[in-house]
Amino acid sequence: MGQERVLYGYWRSSAAYRVRIALNLKGLPYESRAVHLVNNGGEQHAPDFIALNPQELVPCLIDDGHVLTQSMAIIEYLDETHPVPALLPANPEGRARVRALAQVVGCDVHPLGNLRVLQYLVSEFGLDESAKGVWSRHWIGEGLRALETMLSGHVATGRFCHGDSPTLADACLVPQLYNAIRWKLPLDDYPTIARIYEACQSLEAFRRAAPEVQADAPKES
Amino acid sequence: MGQERVLYGYWRSSAAYRVRIALNLKGLPYESRAVHLVNNGGEQHAPDFIALNPQELVPCLIDDGHVLTQSMAIIEYLDETHPVPALLPANPEGRARVRALAQVVGCDVHPLGNLRVLQYLVSEFGLDESAKGVWSRHWIGEGLRALETMLSGHVATGRFCHGDSPTLADACLVPQLYNAIRWKLPLDDYPTIARIYEACQSLEAFRRAAPEVQADAPKES
């Protein structure tokens, strides 16, 4: 079974982490192939991988011969091809809300803190480690501030971002929180987000997707 | 009719431009309300607007009382509530491809060149006009290079990004090309993209969504 579905990822990639969460929530087995984003000059830049994803980014999911890229598009595909349990609500307004919450992370937070962007800030503008932290915390903070308002002020927020079962929005939120914690951003101002994060971590599907338990994670991290 | 659907936007916002294209392709009338992103300290930071979108970003669409944010989520909502003409293909693989093409722009290109990011690079790291151009051209170039390969090498590419009618992918691509041209990025290396851009511009729905013809565009731009 696993051989028919192959996820190219990296233990610490937020976007790959999202897809792992979705695959686990759906109960879909997959074979994991590590693409090391730093070693060997970045394995995402190797010709074999570029042939799969010209963006030279993880994740890339091979599902039944289809080559799929972009984590949110992959999760929507999984939701359409394996509808139970649903990762999007049934009504258009609810779906729009879940997608918007996911896109706050997927469009306006995560891409700014991506490895290639930090590498470019260092090589082109000479940023040091401390400035990378300032930059990362700024954009994560901007996103979490907006998300906290969107979540705390809405009747549809439940145990999870939308209702009482996890959705695409939670699959995007949790990896972003992992990054926030990594960059030592205090989470005191985001009580709703912190509560939802804990609810997600109580589920095995989320815990099994965590960076540290992936086969390619360094043992000492 | 128009009063029931209100689009808060800005003439030169890529993300608002995408939603205008989708509304026009669907033939949906709307009232346009300008949120000036620079004047008055940035009208997106005014309390009345923050109450609509805590992210303090355009666009925001009010549709039949629903407050919708994030342009790609808005376009999916419009496609679900007004299915004809379809802006996503019918099959999951095609939908995944169109969403991935849209997200290359919406996640990995546009957010990096957004006004708030350029403002932060200037205020925090002291970038000048010239460096802003280097930064913007770099990320737009990275995205267009990947998109050109994804489009030129795929059988599903037609007159438009996916087949012979415009989709969500075209609604995202055209505003990004507008930005590429604005930053004087040479388009010679992207012949498929340039061809699709021309095909889009032949449609009134795209032309009517262009920044320069919006009511809030400066007359001399």
Any A CB within 8 A of B108 CB: yes
Distance separating alpha carbons of residues B144 and B150, to the nearest angstrom:
10
Contact B187, B180 (CB under 8 A): yes
Q: Strands across the sheet with A31-34, in order?
A: A31-34, A5-9, A60-63, A66-69
pLDDT, tens digit, 9 for 90 and up, residues B148-163: 999 998 999 999 999 9
Contact (CB<8Å) B55/A108? yes
pLDDT, tens digit, 9 for 90 and up, residues A56-86: 999 999 999 999 999 999 999 999 999 999 9
Instruction: HSE, CB side, 13 Å, CA atoms: give it for residue A166.
Output: 24
Contact (CB<8Å) A103/B70? yes
- How would residue B27 be classed by pLDDT, with cut points 50, 70 and 90? very high
Any A CB within 8 A of B125 CB: yes
Q: Is A181 helix (H, G, I), strand (E, B) or coil?
A: helix
Q: Which of B164, B199, B175 is nearest to B89 (CA)?
A: B164
Any A CB within 8 A of B132 CB: no
pLDDT at residue B31 greater than cutoff 90: yes
Q: Can you point out the beta strands (E) in chain B?
A: 5-9, 31-34, 60-63, 66-69
pLDDT, tens digit, 9 for 90 and up, residues A154-206: 999 999 999 999 999 999 999 999 999 999 999 999 999 999 999 999 999 99
DSSP letters for A9-50 = E-TT-HHHHHHHHHHHHHT---EEEE--SSGGG-GGGSHHHH
Q: Which residues of A touch B83 (CB under 8 A)?
A: none
Q: Which of B96, B100, B173, B98 is nearest to B140 (CA)?
A: B173
Q: Which residues of A touch B77 (CB under 8 A)?
A: 92-93, 95-96, 99
Q: A92-206 has which fold?
A: Glutathione S-transferase Yfyf (Class Pi); Chain A, domain 2 (1.20.1050)
Q: How far is B65 from chain A (nearest CA, A)?
A: 10
Phi, psi of A206 (to 5 degrees): -80, -45
Q: What is the pTM of this model?
A: 0.97
Task: Show me where the domains of chain B are located.
Answer: 2-85, 92-206
pLDDT at residue B1 greater than cutoff 50: no
The ipTM value here is 0.97
* pLDDT confidence of residue A206: 98
Instruction: HSE, CB side, 13 Å, CA atoms: give it for residue B154.
Output: 28
Q: Which residues of A touch B18 (CB under 8 A)?
A: none
* pLDDT confidence of residue B219: 85
> What is the dotted CATH code of the domain comprising A2-85?
3.40.30.10
* pLDDT confidence of residue A2: 44
- Separation of CA A142 from chain center: 17
Q: How far is A100 from chain B (nearest CA, A)?
A: 5
